[in-house]
Structure 1
């Protein structure tokens, strides 16, 4: 188990096989987003460390894939229990990583354990193939085998490191693969505790390796010939580079990218419930720094002014502050660059005619040293504007109006992203029509939870390809072999 430093942080190391190394090819100064101060020095893996980790994972794959499925299941289920047992530590590390508010941090730990437990339950019930023919043409017997790839290279996101691990690692390990994971140098702490618990759960050394690093480490991992598939969560720009690198050898890649999700609110909806859910999902989840959040709010014309007022009142009531204080809803954003990006996008939106309802300026006073930006609501946003088309990745909500169902669908689909969609209506027939019409990988209706373990989660367009979650998420980590037996002696 990691030793916690005086600052309350575990020492960050490179976890390569059985080793825990305090030095790498470089060093990154980690800045606590709540204080703006450097709180740790993070060793960074370079190409040599990546090469070593992949080779160790490749050797461990032979052991892990031959481990009885019941034992793999047992280890993953124990890991889920351990994650829950260490929830308090994960909450503290989430605050240190990226300023995650403690209430959201606790919910994240609960969700992570559910994802691990879900795939732990699948590990000894794997869909290993199907019979394709019995005494078919020529008397052949045919079937398929579903086999693990080998080493999976995973690059996880800075905004939700624990959830990103939970959405990738248990499915890949349940299928019998080994892994090398590169967490962001911006958020390394949660991965350290997770690696400790993987070992404590009984998963052999080398099956799961963690190498914090920057872009050069990511490139080396993606391009390594022993890495047989890449799973990436992040933005489209980096995804294009990964896809281009994988295309050289036609290496398969799973991409979970950004979103500009539309949230459609009709006049017949439960407006109080819709307003609370819409506001919390826009700001209370990671201070707006998540891919699947409903960042475009589309409201029916007849209730538009009333609903905008409800949203503004709720948003302005959310406490922004120290992420470890129990009543804090919104912590800081990740860094100064994020503050600069958010400020510039909000300013341009107002220049283009958007109306500021609440927020809109970086917080000062006792929060001045941290990267705090308040929940910001902009109404009357032009559907073709930057704010309506580009991901802000911060606590900013763009509100637009529509007159009828046809216009609502057109506005919702007017984006290059296609990750999540949200609908609020009491008309079940309308909800069925809208679910069919929205061009997204996921649609949730009337406040249903999104991105849960038992359902596939993934997008289209700039939101990526492939799925995490559900049986589909497990099948991402197998390849299919066709087998036939003839009558020859």
Structure 2
């Protein structure tokens, strides 16, 4: 098992200064999967001192040196994919097949794009006799969630390393083992001491200390909007940069007249993937009123056919949600949907048939959902889809935008028809006809879904500061 009882600081595994131990629960069995040390502000201080010291030298490394380092990390990461997959399946319940491919594979995808961005990025631009240079912002705090653990770690660590920053990572306390494995990967790849530091812990103890720390130059946070607001408030007194990727309630507009057998499976798959625990999942399906009932029947059949089971078993099924606390919240929202008058098409409260333990949720579909209903407004973060009828294109756009979130949106149907929606929808990404995430495209949200962008060169730029050099210099001076 990876080491989750110590922190990785300044190139060494070290004991916590005053931390306490808690259990990490396997959501499929309700049993203890690991023990975790919850760090303290003193641990954060030690990590920041190491990162600040390392920044003096690492920030001055050449592009070629950082390319070589990232290439070594890729090699070491590939060796540990099976370990990463087992940790994800055990701690957050993602089926082992998906954990091995999409979950662990997303980390490799981000490493590859960080490499591409670093190789091709112009860090210096001449404007007349002057020059604009882009330099690493400094010491950065990276706070990541449990739902896509390696995806979010590498979406931050890869470009931060490419930019020349040093860092402190605080992963989710609900899925900490991936981060410990990743620290071992970086150690094996020869990352210099202090460049990467791992402090395990929770938001109250470690996250707050990171956001408030005067010697941290930037916080990059992925998580709930509620937690993101607290990070921003804690960071405000030190006027540090805060980049955030937060919650979502993405609409999926099925254009009027679109063949449903063609349009529905992609939207269904996007909700069921990862047991619905994806911030960009298309959880609000908007269907023209003339096709709503047919869509409800077809979507209900697809959800009802989805198997739910043991994440350690290979196969095309979904696992549990991450925790009993999350299960309780989802059950409450499903019951609220019933109480507020939405039509329950399939699923509902309780565990799926045959499962007497674990945080398993019945794949659930509601129809005839109106914008004022709780399940149309709140991010459920489970395998729950709501179908909402609309009158015409203008009504669809109004409903799509009727949310405090703006992370993603989906449009299915004739591309010429879909085009008119792209500029009207307030979201950071619009996926047309089941287009998926691309690691070289910017990812981030409008409104309360956050600020800043990740992935590829856009993620690299988040970790760079802009400097004007005014006055003629020799051409070889950057």
Q: Give 2:385's aligned residue.
A: 397
- Contact residue 376 and residue 395 of structure 1 kept, 8 A: yes
Give the one of 116, 120, 140 matched to 1:121: 116
SS at match of 2:155: helix
> CA 1:251–1:352 in structure 2 vs 1: closer, same or farther (change >3 Å)?
same
Deviations 1:109-166 (A, max 9, x none): 2222011111112224332132222xxxxxxx21111010111101101211111111
User: Where does residue 224 of structure 2 map in the other structure?
Assistant: 235
1:251 aligns with 2:240: yes
Question: Is the Cα contact below 8 Å between 1:84 and 1:110 reproduced in 2?
Answer: no
* Match in the other structure for 1:274: 263
Q: Which deviates further from its counterpart, 232-241 or 64-73?
A: 64-73
Q: Distance in 2 between matches of 1:225 and 1:10?
A: 29
**Contact 1:27–1:42 (Cα < 8 Å) also in 2:** yes
Equivalent residue, structure 2, for 1:130: 125
Separation in 2, partners of 1:168, 1:11: 21
8 Å contact kept, 2:352–2:361:
no
Query: What is the correspondence of 1:209-220 to structure 2 with a 5 Å cutoff?
Result: 209-214=197-202, 215-220=204-209
- Quote the residue 1:476 is aligned against: 462
Which residue matches 1:138?
none
1:136 corresponds to: none
Task: For residue 240 of structure 1, report the CA deviation from its aligned partner.
Answer: 1.2
1:124 & 1:59 partners in 2: Cα distance? 26
- Comparing 337-346 and 197-206, the one that deviates more: 197-206
Alignment map for 1:385-464 (pairs within 5 Å): 385-426=373-414, 428-450=415-437, 452-464=438-450
- Structure 1 residues without counterparts, runs of 5 or longer: 134-140
- Deviation at residue 306 of structure 1 after TM alignment: 1.6
Output the CA distance in 2 between the equivalents of 1:464 and 1:332.
27
Q: Does 1:286 align with 2:286?
A: no
- Between 244-253 and 417-426, the greater mean CA deviation after superposition: 244-253
Decide whether the 8 Å contact of 2:352 with 2:362 is kept in 1.
no
Q: How does 1:316-355 map to 2 (within 5 A)?
A: 316-355=304-343
The Cα offsets for residues 52-81 of structure 1, whole Å up to 9 and x where unpaired, read as: 011101111122222221121122123233
The farther-off stretch of 229-238 and 243-252 is: 243-252
- Quote the Cα distance in structure 2 between the aligned partners of 1:157 and 1:149: 23
Q: Could you tell me which residue of structure 1 aligns to residue 95 of structure 2?
A: 101
Secondary structure of 2:280's partner? coil
Kindly tell me: are residues 375 and 12 of structure 1, through their superposed partners in 2, closer, same or farther at Cα, counting changes over 3 Å? farther
Aligned to 2:13: 20
- The answer on whether the counterparts of 2:4 and 2:200 sit within 8 Å (CA) in structure 1 is no
Deviations 1:421-459 (A, max 9, x none): 001012x22211111111100001001112x21000000
How does the TM-score come out when normalised to structure 1? 0.93
Q: Distance in 2 between matches of 1:315 and 1:364?
A: 12
Change (3 A) 1:97 1:49: same
CA 299–211 in structure 1, closer or farther in 2 if over 3 Å, else same? same
Matching residue of 1:72: 66
Check conservation: 1:12, 1:189, Cα contact below 8 A.
Answer: no
